[in-house]
Amino acid sequence: MESVKERLSPLTNEQVEQYDRDGYILIKKGCSHDLIDVFNAHIHTIRSADVMPEWAAVEPEDRFKLRVFNPHLHDGFALQMMKLPIVRGALAQIMGDEAVGVQSMYFYKEPGSKGQAAHQDYFYIRNNPNTMVAGYIALEEIDEENGCLWVIPGSHKHGLLKHGKVKRVNEHEPWTDETEGIDLSKEITIRMEKGDILFFHNLLVHSSGRNRSENRWRKSYVCHYIRQDSEIEREDLKRKIPLYDRL
């Protein structure tokens, strides 16, 4: 019988406690610059092709604007980025059991583009039992100028909040939804260096700002994971991707 590769335990007990308390944890330098550079070049090659594969295809003028949705289902490199050993280990420590991948998104955020208003991921992706965690890899330096994330520490303990229309349409995309009934002045910035990995709870209230830079992008690879015994309600996200390889 094949055995499963041993799992890493990259988080300290204090970090696990911080995640439980705040709803997020940032691992510094969790992914090497070399790997990120090759991954960015790989996705750039796919979107630069004269004929893009169907799963990544967009209008030519949008090839470096619109996200690549669920590349892990079609591309081996994107799949392995979802399954990084440090990610598998951290998620198991947070969840108490093996995690499985359910969604991936390679984000472009060009200069001048809007962010997403404060929201909770669970509003869009219901899962039962509720165990979903986002893993956000910074593919370059991310700060307030180019549209970093903002979070409200501890907001995951409020449960699912009501969501309504976006209020600041000059700052945020109007087609999304915005949390209501919480003090958004409590949001704090999450600045990330290239290679940092942010894990956050699916009930954590978070947002992103407009990219105000003149020539800086904000590329990131964001995957969603659930505990292996959880189930996603959405039909398009029901496929579970194990994060371990067998020997």
CATH label of the domain that carries residue 48: 2.60.120.620
- The answer to whether position 246 is within a domain reads no
In this prediction, residue 124 carries a pLDDT of 97
pLDDT in tens, 43-60: 999 999 999 999 999 999
H or E element that contains 41: helix 33-48
**From CA 179, how far away is CA 161, in angstroms rounded?**
6
- The answer to whether position 189 is within a domain reads yes
Question: pTM here?
Answer: 0.96
Question: Phi, psi (5° rounding) for residue 14?
Answer: -65, -40
- The answer to whether position 222 is within a domain reads yes
- The answer to whether position 241 is within a domain reads no
- The answer to whether position 90 is within a domain reads yes
Domain count, the chain: 1
- The answer to whether position 4 is within a domain reads no
Full domain range(s) for residue 165: 13-229
- The answer to whether position 244 is within a domain reads no
- The answer to whether position 7 is within a domain reads no
Region for residue 63 given its phi and psi (left: phi exceeds 0; alpha: psi -120 to 50; beta: otherwise): alpha
pLDDT in tens, 193-222: 999 999 999 999 999 999 999 999 999 999
